[in-house]
Structures are given as C-alpha cells and as structure tokens.
Amino acid sequence: MAQTISVNGAPHSVPDDPRVTLLDFLRQDVGLTGTKKGCDHGQCGACTVIVNGVRINSCLTLAAMHDGDEVTTIEGLGTPDEPSALQKAFVEHDGYQCGYCTPGQICSATAMLTEIANGWPSDASETLEGAVEISGEEIRERMSGNLCRCGAYANIVAAIRDVAEQSA
Amino acid sequence: MTVHFKQDKPDESNRLDDMRQGVIGKALPRVEGLAKVTGTATYAAEYSIDNCAEGVLVTSTITRGEVTSIDRDAALAMPGVIAVIDDPRLTTRAAQGTADEAPQQKPKTVCYWGQPIALVVAETFEQARDATKHLAIEYRVEEGAPLDPNTVEPEEQEDETVHQGDLAHAMSEATHSVDVTYTTRGHASAAMEPHAAIAQWDGDKLTVYASLQMLNYNISELADALDMEEGDIRLVSRFVGGGFGSKLGISEEAVAASIAAKELGRPVRVVMSRQQVFQCIMRRSETTQRLRLCTDANGTLTGFGHEALVSNLPGEEFAEPVLQSSHFLYGGENRELMLKVARIHRMTAGSVRAPGEAVGMPALEAAMDVLAEEVGIDPVELRLKNIPEKNPEEGLPFSSHKLAECLRQGAEAFGWDRGPRKPRQTREGEWWVGTGMASAARVHNVSEAKARVTLKPDGTALVETDMTDIGTGTYTILSQIAGEMLGLSPDRVLVDLGDTRHPRGPGSGGSWGAASIGSAVYVACQAIREELASRLDVEEAELDLSDGKAGSGESIVDLLDGKDLAREGYYEPGDIADDYTASGFGAFFAQVRVNRFTGEARVDRMLGAFGFGRVLNHKTARSQCLGGITWSIGVALTEALEFDPRDGHLVNPDLAEYHVPVHRDVPDLDVIMVEERDPAASPIQAKGIGELGMCGGAAAIANAIYNASGARVFDFPMTPDRVLAAMPD
Ligand code: FES
Ligand code: FES
C-alpha cells in the first residue's frame, strides 16, 4: 500500500530511499523550501515543522517514519497575501535579519504558544502544575532550540509576546 | 548615462534633509519581510533547477601533506554516483574578503585538517554523502606542522607598528599603571545558512546561484579560479542567510559546483554540511594581547601600549587587525603598538564580524576597567578624560566623534551609579549582581559603488545593483533613499539586488555596504533630479518632490513622457579618506549576575548607545545594534573554537559544541542611537553600523562580572570554570 504524508493538507508519497530525512523530503521532493537546513543535526531549529500539532526538528527524523502524518510547514501557516498573526508580528517587530532562521522560529513559536495554552511547564515556569503565565523568560526558555545568529532574539521575543498577549 | 561622484571634501549640505517625502530614517518594516516570514524568499540552494545533480565535498583527515590516491572506482560503483572530481582548479580555502583573485587551489596539497580535496557527485544528496564516507584516500603525511601559535617565531606586521615616545619610561614614571595580558579564543561566523551553490552552464556561459556577500569581488575570484572571463559569468545572491565575514570571498562549494557542472554537462548543487562550514571557511584567530596603560595622578593617560599575537596559515595575507581602533581611541603620548602573526596549520583565519575590534576592544576595555580601579575613579569618567582631540598617532581630525555623548546618554539611560566602584556589593540568593561598562569603536570604511536608478513611466522607480542584503536591510534602505530623493513612497521603489548583471556595488562587508551603495543610489537620484528640474525649467535645489508630484503640481509621470529616465550613480571615496580618521563610537552598559557556587554568569540587562552618522532606517539600524550586542554576549561568555593540539583539527565544528547565544542567553536589550550627520563619512552622512555593536560589549560584561563577584578574568570567553577559579573565597 502506498504510504503518504500530508503536507499542508496535500498528500505526498513517502520517498523510496529510506535515508531521506523529513527535512530533505520537504525541500527536495515536495519543493517546499521554506523549511531551512541549518545544521542537519538537530542543533539549530531552522528545520522546525509541526507534525500532528507538535513541533519537531525535521532533520532529526526520516520521511519514511511519517506515513499518515499531518505536517504543517511555514508555507502552511500563512502566505504573503494572508500571513498569520505571528508572521505579521515578525515583520512589524523586525524579528529577523537574514531570514534564514525565521520559518523555524515562527513554526516553533506557533506550536510553543499551544504548549503554553495547554499548561505544559518549562524550566522557567514557577510551578509544574496549573496554568502557565506567559512571560519573556517563558518564551526565551521554550524558544532556545531555535538559534538566530543574526541576533534578532530581542525582537523575536517581542513579536511572540505581542501575539500571545493579543490572543490571551 | 553614468554620473561619477568622488568625495574629496566633507559634504555639509545634508541634501537628504531637504527632501520632502519624509521617509529617510523612518522605522519602516523590511520590504522583503513577508517573503522571509512565509518561507517564500529563495536562498542559494533553493532554486528549482531541472536535472540538478548533487555534490558533496570530501575533506582531508591529515594536517599537512599530499593526497597520493583516491579510489574512485569503488565510489563510482555505488548506486547513483556519477563522478569523483579532484580537478586541480578546485579551491581549498575560502577567498579572503576583497581578494579579487582565486584563493589557494591544487586540492592534492593539504595544508590543514578538514581541507576540501575532492567532490563526489551523485543523483541524490543521500547517495553522494554516502559515497564520500566510503571513499578510500591515501596520503603522504608531512609530519611536524606547527600548530600552536605560541611555539613559532611570529612575523611582525610592520605597518601596524607604532613606537612613539618612550612607553617603558612612561610606565615607570607614572602614578598609576597596569600591565595585563588577555587571551581570546577563535570564533566562527556560524551564519545560519550553510554555504551553498548551484552551477549551471549554457555553452560557455556560467550561472551560479550562491550565498555570497560581495558579488563584485566574487565574480573575479571565480573567473580567476576557472580561468574564464568575468563577462561569461553571472552570480546570483538575492537572499543570503547571514554572512558575518564567512561569505566575503568565493568559497570552495561554488568553484566545485562550477567545475562539476561543466564536466558533467548538467547543473550541480553543492551545499556544505555545518561541520564543513566550520572547518573549511574561516575562523577568527585566537589572540594574546598585552595592554600597558599608565596615567598621571588624575587618570589622564600618559602611555598606551597594545601588542597582539594572532595566527594564520602560511601564505594568507589576512592578520586579525586587533589594534585597529587602539590607534586612535584614547590619548597617551607614549605609544607602543605591535601586531604579530604566527604561521600555523590550523584552518584559514579570516574575517568574522568586526575583524579586529571584536577582540581588540574587549581586551582594551577590560584593561581600562582595571586601570579605573587602580586610579580610583569612575570608569565612565576615565574614558571621558582620555578622549583625544585628534588621532593621537597621525594627528588627523576625526570626521565626527560621539563617544562622549554615547557615554553620557548611555550612563543616564542605564542608571549607572557614578563614582569609584567596589566589587561584591550586591547579592541575591546564590547570585552576586553587578554592573560594568565599556566604550565601543569601529573604524568606518567606504568603497566605490555603482547603482542604476530608473524612473518608470508608471510612476515607480527601479534600483539595480549587484549589492547584497545579508540581513542588514539593504533592500529597505535603498527604497527609502531613492523614495526620499525622488519623492516616492518606498513601496513604489523596486530594489533588485544580488545579480552581477546589474552595476557593481561594494558588497556587504566591513560595515561599508549601506554608506557606499546608499551614496551610489543618492548620486544616481541626484542626477535624475537634475534632469527633472531642467524639464521643469527650475533649479534642482528648488525641486520639491513628494508622492509622485513636484511642488508646482506636475506629476513626475507626465514629465517622463512615457519613457524611462535612468541614471547610473558611481560613488567613489576620494581624498577625504586620507584627511580624517572616521569611526563609529559608542558605549555599552551591562548588568550581570554571577553564581557564587558555579561561576556561571548571566546577563540581566544590557544597553548600547551608538553614534554612526545618519540613521537610514531606525528599525533595521536598531536590529543591527541588537545583533552586535548579542554577539558581544557570545564573545564574553560562550564562544570558543577548540583545536586538537595533536593535529590542529577543530574539535567543536557544530552548533552543539560551539556555543552561540540562544534565546535564553539574551535579555531585553536597549539601544540608543545618537543621531548625527557625519559630513566626511559619505555623501549621505551615514557610517557603518553592522559591527560596532560588538566592538567592546564583551568587556562591559567582563567588567560587570568583576564588579559583581570580584573575579577578574583575563581570558575570553568567561566560562564558569574560569570565573570560579578567579573568584575570591
Ligand atoms: S537543521 Fe534541523 S535542527 Fe538544524
Ligand atoms: S535572522 Fe538570520 S539567523 Fe535569524
């Protein structure tokens, strides 16, 4: 039976070569190059995508492991004509410079806000129980897997806070 | 039509300020912002090209010697493998910035561990990568390559040497003196986008999509490597995922892709792995720096000494210019400056963001803190006292000088408590808390630059140049400069960059991009204004353009009569470069906490105040400063390349082991831009900005570590082990 991966709602067949990572599958096979390769080793977060609602480093997993999964990439979050709230906030706050880490930051932040809403605690949380309060420290802790060598962190955090507070 | 402007005199006219559109300097969002946030901006490796084969570089596992054989047959027998290429034209190092000629070639000769020696090409990336792992290579090893900069006799860089007066005598006579030695480790640019290129031939014409900072130089470097004419090459770099020096020169993957594509008669893509980027592009040299500073009883410098040892491979001209700003930042009539280079076989040393000041300023500014304590005055006061009237070595005037304002405004905004300081005054739980400050300085450079501006009959304008935007904001500021000059909203200005079919820009590097290419666009627009003025029969100075109309009511579109109006602006720095010392200045203030049990240091808050001429866009300029301050945190606390003493190989060539600052390392940062007009810096009165934010910031953190915990550390980065070892009991 053909194996398929749903990418932004469209089905794609799983590649024949089992060595192909989910990241290379998205970039090469599907042709969605918004997802970036910064290290190929799970060290930078540039390749972050959302699989079945959870953010992962797509370079650290093989495409063959995702039969039946729903993958959302940066292209699935919004378009230049219809950007998501976070995408708009990144533009407004200059939450990028070169833009290479940006899709990963935005995918990561999108899923991260859901994690906070669901009450998942982090190292920066006051307690392990109950609702998590959104703060700069919470965001920084949870976004620390997404490196930005341009050093746009202060603006990225401002953009995320802005959206988190608007929707809170 | 090309209009040439060579700046021989300061330009006090500040023409941009007379314009009516009102967009220059405004905090406009980036014009390419939506493309970046939606993943639709196309970086080098991402062009969709039919029938593209995939190349993976093979690197050496010896330090020095020769490749005697490569067993291609075994590799070629693997599925999908098309070729193993070890053409003598392959380059083995990245070209240094502005080299304008091919870097080292002949890949059989190995000069450092990790050097590219061949390229494997296959149908898919997975096949090519696998084949490189199975390639059997034999070497003739040349033992005994020197690897430690401290064990070889270094070469003096004579044009850096200054002997003025008698420093040794001044030191012995002075009321106060310090003689301290700092070390800094090597740094990596670690731009998030790895080096990548796709090469495609059409007969004898070559197109390369690449990730490069300076296409104007890169095209001649590539032509030289391939023995071609520049006219037969086109380079395209519309989006560059960070540079920080690492993409200044043509690098190995672009040359390899070009050679392979020619040989195979089909396009080839070569993307470096993260490890390869670390190992075969550029490192910032480690440094050892001795600072000798002495003052009279009041804290006025009478002597200034700064000597530095750096390293590079044999044959490389680049020597980390550690003393660059030390030549003019502070007074002191007795001066001794000297830079030496040790020739060793670690990977190539070259430009990493703010070459020179990135490490020279932290050492100098940490030593100034030791001196302030010795003299018993406020460290801000010590700096203010010692700002020279003129360049203390050459006697040249400064083009403009905002250090004092930056120190004062920064101290005020930060809430700096003035007066002599004592360490270990505040403790919160297990954390000592303290503050520190440092000056910032970074020489200002400009370069010749060309850009074409075309007013279109549809009421838009087009700006074309091969200049790049590496995250610095070029697209946006050029739309603002052209919009301001031509009376157009910036969204009516299309900026087309990163293509060598356009007029040659300066390239992005040394913080010279904005001032240089901005001036070329300014010159072109000025010429268009003159033409419009003559069509309206008024003086150019009286031409009042805004929102597509002249002040008298005519629309610009009507003046064009259905035709394009184009001018190419050619800006050239003139004699002025020899008449002034030009630099950006600033001040950093940091509050740091130091764990009394672990020695861990965390930055609580940090502020930078900078003066760099005209601010072209407050949003993108601020971001450049934020980036620089973020790098300061890395230099101060975490970033260090580590080399194996046995074979000189880089042992931490990835982002897990080479620690760039992450989100949680960077607190909210404050940036103050001390607006000024520097008439001698450029016709648009702007100076460089991309590097200043990291030139000294690490010392503010180091000085805060001392103020907090009493740990005086003389080695950057100030990792917990070092802080703990230096902490008093
Ligand atoms: S590319 Fe996946 S984490 Fe860096
Ligand atoms: S914007 Fe360049 S790495 Fe984040």
Q: Going by DSSP bridges, is the β-strand pair B334-343/B53-59 parallel, antiparallel, or unpaired? A: unpaired
Quick check: B269 and B355 in contact, CB under 8 A? no
Q: Does residue B600 register a pLDDT over 70? A: yes
What is the percentage of chain B residues whose pLDDT exceeds 70? 100
> Helices (DSSP H) in B460-540: which residue ranges?
474-486, 513-536
Q: Would you tell me how many other CB atoms lie within 10 Å of the CB of residue A63?
A: 27
d(CA B420, CA B674): 27
Residue A63 touches partner B, C-beta closer than 8 Å:
no
Which residue in this structure is represented by tokens 């190929």? A40
Residue in B132, B663, B689, B694 to test binding to A, most A beta-carbons within 10 Å: B663
Q: Would you tell me how many other CB atoms lie within 10 Å of the CB of residue B415?
A: 11
Minimal CA–CA distance to B306: which of B325, B286, B319? Answer: B325
Residue A30 touches partner B, C-beta closer than 8 Å:
no
Minimal CA–CA distance to B440: which of B361, B512, B324? Answer: B361
Six token digits for residue B402: 């905002």
CA distances from B688 to B148, B196, B631 (A): 35, 27, 17
SS3 B369: helix
Residue A79 touches partner B, C-beta closer than 8 Å:
yes
The CB of A98 under 6 Å from ligand 2? The reply is yes
Q: Where are the domains of chain B?
A: 2-30+447-567, 44-62+64-144+190-280, 158-186+284-444+582-726
Q: Give me the helix-helix angle, B252-264 and B215-226, nearest 10°.
A: 50
Q: Do B662 and A144 lie within an 8 Å CB cutoff?
A: yes
Q: Ligand 1 centroid vs A108 CA: distance in angstroms?
A: 12
Report chain B residues whose CB lies below 8 A from the CB of A99: 32, 35-37, 41, 239, 241, 471
The CB of A90 under 6 Å from ligand 2? The reply is no
Residues within 6 Å of ligand 1 by CB: A 37-40, 42-47, 57, 59
Q: Does residue A65 register a pLDDT over 70? A: yes
- Per-residue b or e along B76-112, where b marks 16 or more CB atoms closer than 10 Å to that residue's CB: eeeebbbbbbbbebbbbbbbbbbbbebbbbbbbbbbb
The half-sphere exposure of B200 on its side-chain side, counting CA atoms within 13 A, is 15
- Of A43, A97, A151, nearest to B656 by CB-CB distance is A43
Q: For B575-599, how does the pLDDT look when each residue is reduced to its tens digit (9 = 90+)?
A: 888 899 999 999 999 999 999 999 9
Residue in B31, B36, B508, B694 to test binding to A, most A beta-carbons within 10 Å: B36
Q: For B424-448, how does the pLDDT look when each residue is reduced to its tens digit (9 = 90+)?
A: 999 999 999 999 999 999 999 999 9
Q: For B259-286, how does the pLDDT look when each residue is reduced to its tens digit (9 = 90+)?
A: 999 999 999 999 999 999 999 999 999 9
Six token digits for residue B681: 């810096």
Average pLDDT over residues B635-661: 97
- Say which CATH architecture domain B158-186+284-444+582-726 belongs to: 2-Layer Sandwich (3.30)
Q: Ligand 2 centroid vs B155 CA: distance in angstroms?
A: 38
- pLDDT range class, residue B12, cuts 50, 70, 90: confident
Six token digits for residue B328: 């003019």
- Return the CATH number of the domain spanning residue range A4-76: 3.10.20.30
Residue type, B318: F
d(CA B558, CA B227): 49
SS3 A10: strand
- Of A27, A145, A153, nearest to B630 by CB-CB distance is A153
The CB of A147 under 6 Å from ligand 2? The reply is no
d(CA B410, CA B437): 10
pLDDT of residue B552: 86
Six token digits for residue B462: 């087009």
Q: Ligand 2 centroid vs B322 CA: distance in angstroms?
A: 27
Q: Ligand 2 centroid vs A88 CA: distance in angstroms?
A: 17
For chain B, helix (H) and strand (E) counts, in that order, are 18, 31
Q: What does DSSP assign to residue B412? A: H
Q: Which of residues 117-156 of A touch B (CB under 8 A)?
A: 124, 136-137, 139-141, 143-156
Residue type, B284: R
Residue A41 touches partner B, C-beta closer than 8 Å:
yes
The residue of chain B nearest to residue A105, with distances taken between CA atoms, is: B37
Quick check: B617 and B23 in contact, CB under 8 A? no
pLDDT of residue A1: 52
Q: Where are the domains of chain A?
A: 4-76, 85-167
pTM: 0.98
Minimal CA–CA distance to B716: which of B367, B423, B430? Answer: B367
Residue A18 touches partner B, C-beta closer than 8 Å:
no
Quick check: B326 and B696 in contact, CB under 8 A? no
CA distances from B569 to A77, B462, B502, B725 (A): 41, 13, 12, 58
Q: For B54-98, how does the pLDDT look when each residue is reduced to its tens digit (9 = 90+)?
A: 999 999 999 999 999 999 999 999 999 999 999 999 999 999 999
Does CATH number 3.30.365.10 belong to domain B2-30+447-567?
yes
Quick check: B581 and B391 in contact, CB under 8 A? yes
Report chain B residues whose CB lies below 8 A from the CB of A88: 37
Residues of B identified as active-site: 691
Candidate CATH numbers 3.40.920.10, 3.40.50.300, 3.50.50.60, 3.30.365.10; the one for domain B44-62+64-144+190-280: 3.30.365.10
Q: For B531-541, how does the pLDDT look when each residue is reduced to its tens digit (9 = 90+)?
A: 999 999 999 99
Q: Do A140 and B629 lie within an 8 Å CB cutoff?
A: no
- Return the CATH number of the domain spanning residue range A85-167: 1.10.150.120
Give the gap in angstroms from C-alpha A130 to the nearest C-alpha of chain B.
23
Q: Do B663 and A151 lie within an 8 Å CB cutoff?
A: no
**pLDDT averaged over chain B?**
97
